Amino acid sequence: MARVITVAVVDDDRMLLDGLRAWLGGVPELRLVATAATVGELLAAADGHLPYGAGVPGYTAPDIAPPDIVLLDLVLRDGSAPTDNIRRLLRTGSRVLMISTVPDRSRIIEAIRAGADGYLTKDHDLPTLVTAIKDLATGRGAHSPELAFACAHDSSPARPRLSPRERQILLDYASGMTLKSAARRAGITVHTAKDYLDRVKAKYQQAGRPTYTKLDLARRVREDHLDGG
C-alpha cells in the first residue's frame, strides 16, 4: 500500500482553503492535516498548542508529526516575509511548495533561494498540484513553467553563469555518476571533466555559495533548478 502524503496549507484566503479541502479530499494518496492563516498558527501545532488537523473539518485524531508538504501562500496578510516563513517551515522538516496568484520573477527566485522546493500559481489545475506534491514527497523539485522562466532569466550574482558543458558535467556528477562516467558520457577525458567541475565549484565559490562535496553540488542543482529544463 502506497504511503499517504500529509499536507498542510498556510493561506489566509478562506475560499481557497475551502476549495483545497474539497480538491485534496478526493485524492486518496494525500491527506490534508492542517490549515492555517499564518506560519505561526501552523507551528503552534508542533508546540502542542493546537493539533494538526484542527483546521480541517471532520478530523478525528491529532497529528503530532509535521506534514510532509506545506503549501505556502507567498504573501500573507500578517506581513510576514516569505523567506522567513520558508525557513521556519524547513526547520520542522516539512518541504515547502509556494503558491501565489502571480508569477513574480524576483519573488520566485527569492523563495527558491530560501529553500522552497517549488512554485505554482493558483490558476493550475488539481492534477498539476497533485503531481507537484508527489514530486516533492519523493525528494524531487516541483517544476512549473513560471519557475522555469524565472530561473532561466535569473541574473542575480548568486546564480553562476554556467556553460553548457559545465552544466552537463555538474548534472551528471551530482546525479551520482562518477567523474569517469560523466566524462565518458560527454565524450571528453577525465582530466577535462575535472577542469569543468573545478570551474563550476570556483563559480559557486565566487557567488558566495561554496560547494565542497558532491552533496553540495546536488544541493545547488536543486536550488537553481538546473535539472528543470
H/E element holding 227?
A: none
Domain boundaries, the chain: 5-152, 164-223
* CATH architecture of the domain formed by 164-223: Orthogonal Bundle (1.10)
Stretches where the chain sits below pLDDT 70 are 1-2, 45-64, 103-104, 141-158, 227-229
**Contact in structure between 97 and 132 (CB atoms under 8 Å):** yes
State the sign of the Cα–Cα–Cα–Cα dihedral 54, 123, 130, 132.
negative
Four-way CATH pick for 5-152: 3.10.310.10, 3.40.50.2300, 3.40.190.10, 3.40.50.150: 3.40.50.2300
The strands making up 95-100's β-sheet, listed across from edge to edge, are 30-36, 5-10, 69-73, 95-100, 118-121
Each residue's pLDDT tens digit, 27-68:
899 999 988 999 998 888 655 544 444 454 444 344 557 899
